Amino acid sequence: MYADKEAYHCIMLLDEYGDDVLLIEADGFDYPRYSMFVPDAKSIYERYQTSEPEQKLHDMIKDTVERIAEFAHTGKTDFTSADNNRH
């Protein structure tokens, strides 16, 4: 469990047969400092799950957008897919 610039990361306890979850965050301690009951969270979880191909596509799109933004800041006007293969 930790926090970064985008989110607080916690543990989500999901019952195999139920739809509700518990979110638990320790805030750096050895025990749960904060917890939250979230009703019907299983539907939220399932809606936002992505497959590996979907995640790869998302990453490619994100990389392309970041590259275009980089070009915009440097004044470069010619963009090709070959420019995006930086790996």
User: DSSP states of the chain as a string?
Assistant: -EE-SS-EE-EEEE-SS-S-EEEEE-TTSSS--EEEEETTHHHHHHHH---HHHHHHHHHHHHHHHHHHHHHHHT-----GGGG---
* Domain extent at residue 79: 52-84
Express as a percent the part of the chain with pLDDT over 90: 2
* Domain tally, the chain: 2
pLDDT of residue 87 exceeding 50: no
One domain for residues 6 and 42: yes
pLDDT digits (tens, 9 = 90+) for 41-72: 888 777 777 777 887 888 899 888 888 888 88
One domain for residues 59 and 41: no
Task: Give me the pLDDT at residue 64, please.
Answer: 87
One domain for residues 40 and 10: yes
